[in-house]
Amino acid sequence: MSEPVSTTWRRLASLAAGAGALTLATAARAAELGGAADSSPSMWLQLAGRLHPVVVHFPIALLLTALLMETLQMLRRQPKPAATALTCLALGVIAAACAIGSGLANEAYESHGKALAAAIDQHQLWGIITGSVGAAALVGGLLSRALSHKALRWVYFGSLMATGVLTAVTGHMGGSLVYGEGYLTSVIWPEETPPTTLSAPDDTPPVSADIKNVTDQSDSDAGVYYEPDIRAIIAARCESCHGPSKQRGGLRLDHYAGLFGDDETLWVVQPFEPGRSEMLRRVSLPEGDDDAMPPKGDRLNPEQITLIEQWIAQGAPDAPTHASADDRPGNTRSEPETAESSGDATLVVPPAMEVDWASIKSSDPLKAADAISNLSERGAAARQIFRGSEAIDVNLSVSGKSINDDDLALLDGLEDTLVWLNLAGTSITDRGAQSLARFKQLRRLHLERTAIGDDGLNAIATLPHLEYLNLYGTSTTDAGLHALESLTALRELYLWQAAVTADGVVRFKSARPDVAVASPWSEPPKVEPAQDSEPNDP
Amino acid sequence: MDPRHEQLLMINRRQFFGRAASGIGAVALASLLNPRLFADTPAQSLAKGNGLLGAPHFAPTAKRIIYLFQSGAPSQLDLFDYKPKMHELFDTDLPDSIRMGQRITTMTSGQARFPVAPTMFKFRKYGQSGTIASELIPHMASIVDDITVIRTLHTEAINHDPAITFIQTGAQQPGRPSLGAWLSYGLGTENHNLPAFIVLISEGSAVRPSQALFSRLWGTGFLPSEHQGVQFRSSGDPVLYLSNPPGIDQHSRRSMLDALAKLNLKQHDEFGDPETLSRIAAAELAYRMQTSTPELTDLSDEPDETFQLYGEDARTPGTYAANCVLARRMAERGVRFIQLYHRGWDQHDNLPRDIRLQCKDVDQPSAALIKDLKRRGMLDDTLVIWGGEFGRTIYCQGELSMANYGRDHHPRCFTVWMAGGGIKSGLTYGTTDDFSYNIVDNPVHVHDLNATILRCMGIDHERLTFPYQGRDFRLTDVHGKVIHGILA
């Protein structure tokens, strides 16, 4: 046995001994503390725990490098294990020990909730196995190199390969804890493993369907209540950290009273004030924001967020059996609409139908994008109505008379998404109006001050969703008006200075009492004189 | 090197790196996640005139705003907030239980007593909604079924300049962007031939001199300066230096602007100051406005019927009535934010004399604007706001008699009305106490009002921000909640 080999052997042996000692010491200390998590936390161990996500990269890299080096050594048919591989392996085992120790500390000091508990236990078990097999491989390798024992060599290589595989498995488990299950695999097998969140342990029923139903109910004007609407969301996404097992930040959401502590300024839900409610703010934050809740897994879906917002706006009531949120401690707020008002008697315009914005989608987004950029170049204002929908608003009125029937070809590509269109004061005629029949999603249409007449209106009258139609200053006659009776969705119609007659308007109103028709004739300003009588006390 | 210049360079290098990094990152991410969308970055969106947001946060209920600002603070006690019990308390002292030691201005703090001065004007209920209004405003009383009267707006400032700065910019100290500038910055312009934000000022008829207005009220603060309001003047050129000077034709003007833009771009390449680009944009907009503005401000194509509706004053340029007609014409042309100021509401003394004159100025045109927008189908998506910077006191300033009195500044409650653009019709919101001194229910802070205005335009007031001096600024600072009770 040559001198250098012996030196190497001694060095590696001392490293291994150090690694083993460190592993044992850290694990023992962490386990001791883990058993008494309530005792006052040691800052250093807590810090070590938080460094776990940093430390873990070292064993992964070193152990896999050791495997790679030794594989090359085998392929080169070298008789002895590679010194590089053994060095990497020794460092890797030390790093693994640190990773295991910091992992135990992390589990002891950080609360991860019931949902993650099982996954963390698995990760911990496999981490310890990986470290142990790695240490065994190191011993085998050192012996094999020292004794030049062939069978031992194979034992070493086999255990090294096992270490590599175990490292990958453990690492993947750790990654899943951070990024959510299926983060990696969903890219490879998108159909079989749809991205799901980790927070669906066995004891939580699947709730997404229920939440959807609840949303539908709330659309039909039913109130939103903590029980069961908000409770369902909390059970699925919040309870693991803010429930019976863990109360991170001292917050417990799984029962109604837990939301409203003694200090009103700390309430995460401020009844009637969604804008001041920390809970809504946190769940609305974009992924990746430090304050975003829940911190892991997908963001809450928009329906869930809307539901929470509605719930808070309605005063965050408890359950339908309670008339209001009177059980809430310290509730002194009144409903926002107690101001006197004679009610809706003066609401001339019936409420517009709720637009299902999400359903408005373009079948050819590239073409739609082209249309928008062409329209913008032509001086029109063309843009998404708002961020939550692909619905488009186009205002060609700003280009005035320079817009004619042929320019309406600029709108090609917006057939599925054009919802608001303003052509007021342009040079379009009946021919142009006929081409508008293809925009089936139109809700608001401005045709005032154009040369449009009855022929164009026959085409307009086929638009299924049209709610607002402005025809003031056009040559619309009673015949065109009659055609518009078939606009089932229509709510507002403007006919000032149009060529209709009083009879025509009366006939339209009797056919469509649900449409608010603005007066076709100018009325001189009339003023009610103030009377001497005092008003009743308001 | 000039240290100031150096400072400018450093800031702009930071801006450059910041923007380049976020821009490239955003482009890369957007194309990776959804290559079909071709989402504009904020910078691209701004460049296209779509504003920083590109698209609003929510479906907007208003596409434009006409803000009928009554500068000097009209008396809520004599117009909308009727307090019949005050008649019994004529010339009695304001109870300490009402005043609660709150501060009052130095103009009345030296007074020996604070005698209650009930309104001398008659009030009654109007319309189907039964909204109460005074005999001073018969025309506005005829549109009560189309408006929401908010009687419980309150502010933090007690003097004109801080208060008007506060309600227009969200801060009492000068230097913040105005509401119109925020909207121009966030949403951009609809009509590229006109500014997104136009200001019109009219002088009131009151005898007492008016309060000053400063151009910073429509300024941009730290926002890029192309978003500032453009003031249209009432005589001569509506916008100064817009017409070609004698001897310069359109062609020369164009080539001059092209050459100037080249020089400016060179300057921009060298120093990278975004304000250089604002300068170019301003010159180009002015060029386009050479044709768009005369057409806009020429009221000769308005039929006589318009002047019957708005009043004959509307034929005189510079009057509030004429400005209301202009406001409607701007709204028709897609101007996003039209800010009127009518001066002269500061009635510390001789209130009955001056408020009559002021009401005669604004009553008919304000109401006419609502009626005109309504019949044209534009009230749906035009938000109209009428009001001042604070209210006036129930106690009298100076001599009190049955026929004459004055009122000092009162920030603790005042009345504004809003109409159209997603606001309820025929509603009276909020209640004040019998002295119109304190709020009883449904208070609306100035920040709440501004948050609600932004909400009508589809903007989440918490998410329209601008990073400056190390933090993100917004119109409502760290306050404000949307008043859902007045939203239709």
What is the DSSP annotation of B284-299?
HHHHHHHHHHHHHH-G
pLDDT score at A194: 38
CB distance A496–B376 less than 8 Å? yes
Q: Which residue of B has its CA nearest to A384?
A: B55
How far does the CA of residue B121 sit from the closest CA of chain A (Å)?
Answer: 10
- For the segment B64-83, the average pLDDT, to the nearest whole number, is 97
- pLDDT confidence band for B273 (50 / 70 / 90): confident
pLDDT score at A349: 54
CB distance A534–B122 less than 8 Å? yes
**b/e per residue A56-78 (b: at least 16 CB within 10 A):** bebbbebbbbbbebbbebbeeee
Q: Which of A208-212, A533-537, B53-57, B416-420 shows the lowest per-residue confidence on average (mean pLDDT)?
A: A208-212
Q: Which residue of A has its CA nearest to B442?
A: A336
Which B residues 225-284 touch A at CB under 8 Å?
none
- For the segment A46-50, the average pLDDT, to the nearest whole number, is 85
DSSP at A227: I
Which B residues 337-376 touch A at CB under 8 Å?
364, 367-368, 371, 374-376
Q: What are B374-410's pLDDT values in tens digits?
A: 999 999 999 999 999 999 999 999 999 999 999 999 9
For chain A, the residue count is: 538
Residues of chain B contacting A361 with CB distance shorter than 8 Å: none
Which pTM was predicted?
Answer: 0.65
Q: What is the DSSP string of A72-96?
A: HHHHTT-SS--HHHHHHHHHHHHHH
pLDDT score at A216: 38
| B253 has pLDDT over 80 | yes
Q: ω before A228 within 30° of 0 (cis)?
A: yes
Cα–Cα distance for residue pair B325/B331, rounded to 1 Å: 10
Q: Which residue of B has its CA nearest to A284?
A: B463
Q: Which of A187-191, B215-219, B248-252, B466-470 shows the lowest per-residue confidence on average (mean pLDDT)?
A: A187-191
Cα–Cα distance for residue pair A384/A393, rounded to 1 Å: 6
Which B residues 422-451 touch A at CB under 8 Å?
424-431, 441-442, 451
Cα–Cα distance for residue pair A413/B470, rounded to 1 Å: 44
Residues of chain A contacting B50 with CB distance shorter than 8 Å: 383
Q: Give the distance between the most distant pair of CA atoms in chain B.
A: 75
- For the segment A30-58, the average pLDDT, to the nearest whole number, is 72
CB distance A395–B334 less than 8 Å? yes
Residues of chain A contacting B429 with CB distance shorter than 8 Å: 339
| B309 has pLDDT over 70 | yes
Residues B339/B69, Cβ–Cβ less than 8 Å: yes
- pLDDT confidence band for A295 (50 / 70 / 90): confident
Three-class SS state of A151? helix
Of A334, A341, A533, the CB nearest to B426: A341
How far does the CA of residue B10 sit from the closest CA of chain A (Å)?
Answer: 29
Mean pLDDT for all residues in chain B: 90
How far does the CA of residue B432 sit from the closest CA of chain A (Å)?
Answer: 11
Q: What are B109-150's pLDDT values in tens digits?
A: 899 999 999 999 999 999 999 999 999 999 999 999 999 999
Q: Which residue of B has its CA nearest to A274?
A: B481
| B86 has pLDDT over 50 | yes
Cα–Cα distance for residue pair B317/B247, rounded to 1 Å: 28
- For the segment A505-523, the average pLDDT, to the nearest whole number, is 86
Residues of chain B contacting A336 with CB distance shorter than 8 Å: 442, 483-485
- pLDDT confidence band for A209 (50 / 70 / 90): very low
Residues B166/B172, Cβ–Cβ less than 8 Å: yes
Tell me the β-bridge partners of A494: A470, A518
CB distance B377–A355 less than 8 Å? no
Between A302-313 and A208-219, two packed helices, what is the crossing angle to 10 degrees? 50
Q: What is the DSSP string of B135-199?
A: TT-HHHHTTGGGEEEEEEEE-S--SHHHHHHHHHHSSSSTTSPPHHHHHHHHH--S-TTS-SEEE
CB distance B333–A398 less than 8 Å? yes
CB distance B192–A398 less than 8 Å? yes
pLDDT score at A179: 74
Residue A42: what residue type?
S
Q: What is the DSSP string of B308-357?
A: HHH-GGGGSTTSHHHHHHHHHHHHHTT-SEEEEEE-----SS-HHHHHHH
Nearest to B46 by CA among B189, B217, B162, B149: B189
**What count of other Cβ atoms lies within 10 Å of the Cβ of residue A529?**
9
Cα–Cα distance for residue pair A444/A436, rounded to 1 Å: 12
- pLDDT confidence band for A388 (50 / 70 / 90): confident
| A205 has pLDDT over 50 | no
Cα–Cα distance for residue pair B124/A230, rounded to 1 Å: 47
Q: Give yes or no for B206 touching A (CB within 8 A).
A: no
pLDDT score at A203: 42
Residues B151/B428, Cβ–Cβ less than 8 Å: yes
- pLDDT confidence band for A283 (50 / 70 / 90): confident
CB distance A534–B84 less than 8 Å? yes
Q: What are A304-320's pLDDT values in tens digits?
A: 888 888 888 877 877 76
CB distance A386–B58 less than 8 Å? yes
CB distance A387–B60 less than 8 Å? no
Mean pLDDT for all residues in chain A: 78
Q: ω before A294 within 30° of 0 (cis)?
A: yes
pLDDT score at A337: 35
Residues B94/B435, Cβ–Cβ less than 8 Å: yes
Tell me the β-bridge partners of B419: B147, B384
How far does the CA of residue B123 sit from the closest CA of chain A (Å)?
Answer: 6
Q: What are A399-433's pLDDT values in tens digits?
A: 989 999 999 999 999 999 999 999 999 999 999 99
Nearest to B175 by CA among B161, B165, B167, B186: B165
Q: Please give the C-alpha separations between residue A452 and each of A225, A292, A436, A531, in angstroms, as whole numbers.
A: 51, 53, 12, 46
Q: Please give the C-alpha separations between residue B118 and each of A124, A202, A514, B396, B438, in angstroms, as whole numbers.
A: 79, 71, 45, 9, 16
CB distance B380–A369 less than 8 Å? no
Residues B407/B77, Cβ–Cβ less than 8 Å: yes
CB distance A340–B428 less than 8 Å? yes
Q: Give backbone dihedrals phi and psi of B271, rounded to 5 degrees, phi first.
A: -110, -20
Cα–Cα distance for residue pair B22/B36, rounded to 1 Å: 20
- pLDDT confidence band for B203 (50 / 70 / 90): very high
Cα–Cα distance for residue pair A525/B308, rounded to 1 Å: 8
Residues of chain A contacting B145 with CB distance shorter than 8 Å: 346, 348
- pLDDT confidence band for B20 (50 / 70 / 90): low
Residues of chain A contacting B135 with CB distance shorter than 8 Å: 530
Residues of chain B contacting A527 with CB distance shorter than 8 Å: 138-139, 141-142
Q: What is the DSSP string of B352-421?
A: HHHHHHHHHHHHHHHHHHHHHHHHTT-GGGEEEEEE-S-EEEEEESS---SS---EEEE-S-EEEEEEST
Q: Which of A476-485, A513-522, B1-10, B335-344 shows the lowest per-residue confidence on average (mean pLDDT)?
A: B1-10
Of A339, A425, A446, the CB nearest to B427: A339
